[in-house]
Structure 1
Amino acid sequence: MIISFFNRQFNRFNIDNRKTRVYIPSLFMGYLVLKIALSLFLTKIFPQEDELVLVKENNKELNLISLTLFLVFGAIMEEFKYRGLLTKFNYKWVLISLSVFITTIIFVIFNIKVYYLYPESLLPMIGYFIFFIITGIIIYFTLFKLLFKHKEKIKNKFDSNFNLILLTQVGLFAIWHILFSGQGNEAHYINLFIFHSVGALFYSFIRINYGILYSIIVHFFYNFLVTVVPVILVRLVS
């Protein structure tokens, strides 16, 4: 029953539903309640080594405009990277997702700090977009031109393994956030993996049923609420 429910919900061909004025805000509020409850539950089951701090001291001085731009950038890149493929098979989406993923890996290898919440991140963000375009062009002419003649075979493989692709992106999304979470014990990592996997499933549901634009918007608003709003509240109180 549970499996059949998720199969119906994650119907990647149901992307023409436009009742977003009611459904998206309701889903988002339900998601917030779920994440709060899940956070409290996981903290009890898998306690962290350090006491939970909503706003770190070094984050109180962040430039909020720069931080907001970073969150917009992060939501766009993560949605294209992890959930761009979650639709009907399309070479354009495959190209975009691969280009973003490879660009991100290269930036990590060379330690270009585009994923840090500081004003200095603005220039690397621009560099990221430029490198993304270059990477896309290279992939297109070195790989995709060779594969176009096998388009139908690749499409069939993609469609028959869609659930595996979905679960893979959920796992990659959770692992990526664990890698940049800092030091912690094993219980802390399990906590993060479950927490971010639930997030990946929710964003996947929005992307599949409503499209990539809405998953970006929902992703951004969630990150804004848990990152920028606490900083604003702390500044107002202090």
Structure 2
Amino acid sequence: MNFSASQENYLKIIWHLQQNRRRATAKVVADELNIKPPTVLAMFRQLQKRNLLTYNKTEGALLTDAGADAARKLVRKHRLIETFLGHVLGMDEQQIHEEAERLEHVISDQLMYRIDHYLGFPGTDPHGSVIPPWSLQNTIALGDVAVGRSFVVNALTLEDEKERYYAERDLVKGALWTMIEKPPGEQVCLLGNGKKFLALSLETAARIKVRVQA
């Protein structure tokens, strides 16, 4: 499915708002883009026709699975480009963001894979933000992992501050952990990775996708 740069920018903004649990109303999105709400509503209708989002005045715009997938891939491209420009070319944080804003719309998936491979499949960008996976297929919520089972973290769909908090504790994409305990009647679970333990609320665990090891 092909998108214009403008359509991709809308999807990305709505994705970021949803990640931070903010409603993507026409006014909020208009403020983000410094344009008028009627212009935003026209784009909402366009994207809704393509089954990329749903919209009502109360909830604002909500991405469908297809819309969230497209937005996540764009965010992934952006953060991988920033990582390449920062770590390989030595550009500063402001420069890498501005360049990534332009390049994310034109760079191919094939080239992004080669960059990802060259960088060693990094989990975070230079700003400390988690780099999302290409796909969430064949994953389950961390909270659904049975006690005693090991799993690899695939994606964290959390607020940026929380993502950085857990990244500092090694709960990042690609990390191997084991479900140690889920105390009955308590809204927490306990994880271990052989070096440390980490307690998570079940609410947070529901927003982390993992692949259970065989």
| Greater share of helix | 1
| Greater share of strand | 2
- The normalised TM-score by structure 2 is 0.28
- The normalised TM-score by structure 1 is 0.26
